[in-house]
Amino acid sequence: MPHTQQTVHAIVEKQRAFFRTGKTLDVNFRVEQLKKLKKAVLDHRETLEAALFEDLNKSPIEAYLCDLGPVIVEVNEILKGIRRWARPERHFSGLMCFPSTSTTVYKMPYGVSLVISPFNFPILLTLGVLAASISGGNTAVLKTSSKSAASTEALKKLVADTFPPEYVTVVDGGHDVADMCLAERFDKIFYTGSPAVAKHVLSEASKNLTSVALELGGETGNWCIVRKDADLRDAARKIAFFKLCNAGQICINVNQIAVAEEVADDFLKELKAEFIRQIGEKPEENPEYPKLITEKVYEKCETLTEQYRDRVVFGGTGSREAVKFAPTVIYPVGADEDIVLHELFCPLLPVVPFKDSEIESLLTVIADREHPLSMYVFTSDKKWAKRVMRTLQFGGGCINEVCIHMMVKGVPFNGTGHSGMGAYHGEWGFKEFTHPQTVLVGKTRWNLPLREHPYSGKAGERKRKLLKWFER
Q: pLDDT for 8-18, tens place per residue?
A: 999 999 999 99
- Give the global pTM: 0.96
Q: For position 219, what pLDDT does the model report?
A: 85
Residues 6 or more apart in contact with residue 135 via CB below 8 angstroms: 30, 34, 78, 82, 85, 429, 430, 433
In the chain, what is the straight-line distance between the N-terminal and C-terminal CA atoms, in Å? 65
Quick one: DSSP state of residue 18? H
Query: What are all long-range contacts of 434-437, with beta carbons under 8 Å and residues at least 24 apart?
Result: 434/107, 434/108, 434/109, 434/110, 434/136, 434/137, 435/107, 435/108, 435/109, 435/110, 435/211, 436/105, 436/106, 436/107, 436/108, 437/105, 437/106, 437/107, 437/108
Q: How large is the average pLDDT for residues 392-405?
A: 97
Q: H or E stretch including 363?
A: helix 359-368
Q: How large is the average pLDDT for residues 81-108?
A: 96
Q: How large is the average pLDDT for residues 62-68?
A: 96
Q: How confident is the model at residue 95 (pLDDT cuts 50, 70, 90)?
A: confident
CA 111 to chain centre: 21
Nearest CA-CA partner of 366 in 256, 467, 241: 256
Q: For position 469, what pLDDT does the model report?
A: 87
Say whether pLDDT at 1 is over 80.
no
Q: Phi/psi at 445 (nearest 5 deg)?
A: -130, 160
Q: Give the span between the Cα atoms of 398 and 386, in whole angstroms.
A: 10
Task: List the domains of the chain with CATH numbers.
Answer: 5-218+420-435 (3.40.605.10), 223-369+374-410 (3.40.309.10), 442-470 (no CATH)
Largest CA distance in the chain: 89
114 three-class SS: strand
Say whether pLDDT at 141 is over 80.
yes
Average predicted confidence (pLDDT) for the chain = 97
Q: How confident is the model at residue 173 (pLDDT cuts 50, 70, 90)?
A: very high
Q: How large is the average pLDDT for residues 416-422?
A: 96
Q: How large is the average pLDDT for residues 410-429?
A: 96
Q: For position 471, what pLDDT does the model report?
A: 78
Report pLDDT digits (tens) over 331-376.
999 999 999 999 999 999 999 999 999 999 999 999 999 999 999 9
Q: How confident is the model at residue 110 (pLDDT cuts 50, 70, 90)?
A: very high
Alpha-carbon dihedral 360, 366, 371, 376, rounded to 10 degrees? -70
Nearest CA-CA partner of 397 in 419, 380, 418: 419
Strands 423-424 and 256-260: unpaired
Q: How confident is the model at residue 26 (pLDDT cuts 50, 70, 90)?
A: very high
Say whether pLDDT at 218 is over 90.
no
**Which sequence positions are flagged as catalytic?**
215, 251
Q: Give the span between the Cα atoms of 428 and 112, in whole angstroms.
A: 19
Q: For position 247, what pLDDT does the model report?
A: 97
Q: State the SS3 of 171-209.
A: ECCCHHHHHHHHCCCCCEEEEEECHHHHHHHHHHHHCCC
Q: Give the span between the Cα atoms of 433 and 213, in whole angstroms.
A: 9
Q: How confident is the model at residue 271 (pLDDT cuts 50, 70, 90)?
A: very high
